Chains A and B, each alone.
Chain A
Amino acid sequence: MNPKNVGVIENPDGYGKVGNPICGDVMELFIRVKDDIIADIKFKTFGCGSAIATSSMITELAKGKTVDDALKITRKDVADELDGLPPQKMHCSNLAADALSEAIKDYKSKKKKK
């Protein structure tokens, strides 16, 4: 267990938070965007091994991609990249994909306002 991109970005260009502590999974995701490309990405996760692994993996997959390409990353991509997840843990990869799309949505809405 050696997750990548753990932490927060101060004043991020996009921020997403999904899950709730009762279910046992909360993920926060922060992105820094330059020319529509995800230049930096950090996360914080409360959850099981799979939740942490999928969080880490999605940050790796998204980094360097354009925001539109990053939006196309599916939960299946995350799971495949991890060489599969047990069936009862697939929702963890869902969480990671949701957090990323929330962060990108946040970025896009902020951009419109400018």
Chain B
Amino acid sequence: MRKASHFRRSNVFRYGIILLMVIFILLFFVLNLIGGVVEISVQDVFNAISGSSDVQPTISAIVLQLRLPQTATALLAGAALAVAGLMMQSLFRNPLADPSILGISSGATLGVALLLLGGFFFRFRVTDLPLFLSDLAVTGAALGGAILILLLILAVSGVLKSNTNLLIVGIMIGYIAFSVVGILKYYSPKEDLQRFVIWGLGSFSQVSPSRLPMFTGLTILGLLASFLMAKPLNLLLLGEYYASNLGLNTNRARWFVILVSGSLTAVITAYCGPVAFIGLAVPHLTRNIFDTSSHGTLLPTSALMGGLLALIVNYVSRMAIFGGTLPISAVTALVGAPVVLWFIFKSSSFKQS
């Protein structure tokens, strides 16, 4: 067993796992393009992507305008949420932290609730808005709410020196948002409520091709910025006093970690709705697989693992036997939790022996 444990740490093992993850990502990326309610042959999928004229325009539209953006969105969103979750867990040195811990996704939810359910107070309904506005309006409201809370948290983080207190502030903001949303839901007609509930279950299919470049750009920017945080995160993990003794400006590091993680969460929640579980679970998965706490390894591998998990979840949610319209958050934990549990039991049995 000691041998196995030693083997787990070797670089060969790590690169092997990374290679395996990349292969599986490619595999599930292609599966996501092939699988779905409408049966499309592998040949047709490749013809559609290569722009060949041998494929029907309908099939080509399904592959290029529906499945491809949705698959890309899933990959990016999964990666971003996993990274954001990892950063929160390391910053607060709390294994139960996730991207929503600072109330940023609650802010997004509140923004959307005010838009979709605010009719009681504001005397309008989102269905009253011009249609082209409504989808954009939902994204805008989510982004607005999330950024507002993010700015608030950033401001508070300058005042509160204790991470624990900051964590409590984030959780309190979440509770306040939850209450306001509860009041709005209580007074809402059921059609509006249904729209809100659907949004709250998350979806990778809202990003249309024309909105994909913006989404991709923002997400990749956030991911790249997060990779620059590896060193300060490693130091923060030692504890704030230790980190500052080692020459880290902990306040500034903390501020940047919150900014990057919060922005990623804000963007993903705005475009996909609140997607649960990935941000909480994937960091544990990668920590257990790679048996390390170095963020040089954890940040990129969490991104890969998050992307892979989201692709699997997206594939399952679109399977024909489920009617092809299962909401994302209803599937993430169902698919992901057994995997996480298996790894945790496996790795703890390693450590004990």
Please say whether chains A and B are actual partners in one complex: no
